[in-house]
Structure 1
Amino acid sequence: MTPKSLTDTILSLKQHTAQIIETSNQSIDDVISNDIREMALNDLLEIEHTIEHIEHIQASLNTAINALDTDNKYLLKDALFSAMHTINHQSTVRSFDKYESAPSLAG
């Protein structure tokens, strides 16, 4: 199995979700069909939202790379903060306290 990029995986999930929606539209049982369609639409919206965040992070990191090339520290810092804000806005920031107190990880 060939590893895919995160964007390829998300696009594949989006395609499968669209297929589920299409299949559910052809279903005989309307109650189940509507539930499946609603779940698939919700999944599709989440996938599209995730794609938007990935594209923003990619753009910010490309800006950071360009800032490195031009030695623009202000732009570099701004681009990295923008990418980190997008990442942290979507996920919980883990506390490092547990790592600091773990004897096996002590430096």
Structure 2
Amino acid sequence: MDRPLDRLARAGTNPEIVRQVAVLLAERWDPGAELAAPDGTCEPAAHAGAVLGVLGGGGPLADVVGYLRRAEEDRFVFPRSTAAERWALAEAIHALVLGTATPDSPAA
């Protein structure tokens, strides 16, 4: 049985999902690749891995939103996106991983 939690847990090991999440992050959150990921790089794929790790570990969307905000604050002192923008992005990533949206769909 393919349960949602199983899909979330496996997402970080699926190169195509990592790529799609990296595209979402680059387009909607950090188009200039200015924000550092936990590994010290500013690569969208590194952020995708971190976000997918949060979701894969059973973390709630609030933890993803917090990750995005902290990365912004670490670089700019204040967040540059709104909470609503971060929530919408976290929801789009979650939907993508669960297979209910694609990066090209209006929900994403």
The answer to whether TM tops 0.5 is: no
Could you state the TM-score of these two structures normalised by the residue count of structure 1?
Answer: 0.29
**Comparing both structures, which one devotes a greater share of its residues to helix?**
1
Which protein has greater RCO, CA pairs closer than 8 Å, 6+ apart? 2
Max radius of gyration: which structure?
1
